[in-house]
């Protein structure tokens, strides 16, 4: 999703798209560069997806849209997933994806 497109939709809808339109699947082959899989599937394991989630949560915080009681959890998530520790781990794990899906669902609700 292009940056201009993300500015036209609400941060809530942007996070919903990131949760629902990208696959939780962890491909056997490490993905690099443009999407090259035959079915053009979009994956949550890609670093740009993580940048989108962290950025979307940041937009929510700036607009004061983080639900009451989730502020610290959102801050902790952003801190961890924008940290050198996360960026230096070799691969995204199923636990990382589950944690992202969980925090997005807490904010935007179920499908």
pLDDT in tens, 20-45: 999 999 887 776 665 555 566 889 99
Q: What DSSP state is assigned to residue 87?
A: H
How many whole angstroms from its chain centre is CA 59?
Answer: 13
> What is the pTM assigned to this prediction?
0.85
How many percent of the chain have pLDDT more than 70?
Answer: 84
Q: What angle do CA 45, 71, 78 make, to 5 degrees?
A: 30
């Amino acid at each position: 999703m292009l940056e201009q497109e993300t500015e036209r939709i609400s941060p809530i809808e942007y996070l919903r798209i990131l949760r629902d339109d990208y696959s939780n699947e962890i491909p056997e082959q490490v993905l690099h560069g443009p999407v090259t899989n035959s079915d053009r599937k979009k994956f949550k394991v890609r670093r740009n997806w993580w940048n989108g989630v962290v950025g979307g949560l940041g937009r929510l915080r700036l607009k004061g849209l983080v639900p009451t009681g989730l502020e610290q959890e959102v801050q902790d998530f952003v801190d961890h997933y924008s940290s050198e520790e996360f960026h230096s781990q070799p691969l995204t794990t199923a636990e990382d994806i589950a944690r992202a899906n969980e925090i997005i669902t807490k904010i935007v609700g179920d499908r």
